[in-house]
């Protein structure tokens, strides 16, 4: 009769074996996952994590409008850009039949100009455009009309507020009946909320 006892594995060795088995099992799982990933051809395109480029605009500035405003209907509330275009076209359109064509043009644009600006510019409207006295005299002699066309530029400008809007614009003038087109003018304007159309020009600065 065999009385020998079965050999027992020391507890420390059993622990090492269990750890080794767990590591082998884990490696198999990793290997399977790796194979599965390599076989999958329907991976999504990588998503860029590059942050957008910082704005190159100076602090306190924003881009100008990219679209030209529609005409401002008479007697209706309009946007600042609409009023700016309408006011500039009125101020710089002259009639040779008027005793003072520039002052008469400003009078026709009265609703589009702030009362304070009209008072400050009284008597000096003709100085806004680089037109000589002989040119004014010639237009009066032939009873010419000068039609202005304004366009808001996409130049940077201070941010709009509920009360003010600043813009850069160009004004071109065409003389009838001669067909002459005057050199375009660059103008800087500030519009303020108010008036029957919702906005009024408070300053017009031209480049002489």
d(CA 34, CA 46): 19
Distances (CA, A) of 162 to 58, 59, 146, 153: 21, 19, 34, 21
d(CA 190, CA 196): 17
146 touches 93 (CB < 8 A) = yes
- The pLDDT assigned to 207 comes to 77
Name beta bridge partners: 170.
151, 186
Domain boundaries defined on the chain: 80-206
**148-169 per-position pLDDT tens digit:** 999 999 888 899 999 999 999 9
- Closest to 69 (Cα-Cα) out of 154, 146, 158, 128: 154
d(CA 81, CA 151): 9
Task: Enumerate residue ranges in the chain where pLDDT < 50.
Answer: 1-55
Annotation: CATH topology of 80-206? Nuclear Transport Factor 2; Chain: A, (3.10.450)
Q: E strands, the chain, where?
A: 94-95, 145-152, 164-176, 185-193, 199-206
d(CA 83, CA 70): 10
- The pLDDT assigned to 154 comes to 84
Return the SS3 of 36. helix
The pTM score is: 0.69
- The pLDDT assigned to 69 comes to 78
Beta-carbon count within 10 A of 101 CB? 22
d(CA 19, CA 5): 27
- The pLDDT assigned to 59 comes to 66
């Amino acid at each position: 009769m065999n009385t020998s006892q079965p050999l027992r594995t020391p507890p420390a060795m059993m622990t090492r074996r269990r750890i080794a088995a767990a590591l082998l099992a884990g490696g198999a799982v990793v290997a399977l996952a790796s194979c599965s990933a390599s076989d999958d051809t329907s991976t999504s395109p990588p998503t860029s994590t590059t942050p957008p480029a910082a704005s190159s605009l100076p602090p306190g500035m924003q881009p100008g409008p990219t679209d030209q405003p529609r005409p401002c209907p008479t007697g209706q509330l309009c946007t600042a850009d609409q009023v700016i275009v309408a006011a500039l076209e009125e101020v710089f359109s002259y009639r040779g039949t008027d005793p003072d064509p520039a002052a008469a043009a400003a009078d026709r644009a009265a609703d589009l100009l702030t009362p304070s600006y009209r008072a400050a510019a009284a008597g000096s409207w003709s100085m806004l455009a680089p037109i000589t006295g002989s040119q004014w005299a010639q237009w009066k002699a032939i009873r010419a009309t000068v039609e202005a066309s304004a366009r808001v530029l996409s130049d940077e400008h201070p941010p709009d507020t509920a009360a003010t809007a600043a813009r850069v614009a160009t004004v071109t003038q065409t003389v009838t009946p001669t067909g002459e087109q005057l050199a375009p003018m660059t103008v800087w304007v500030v519009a303020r909320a108010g008036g029957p159309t919702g906005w009024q020009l408070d300053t017009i600065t031209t480049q002489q």
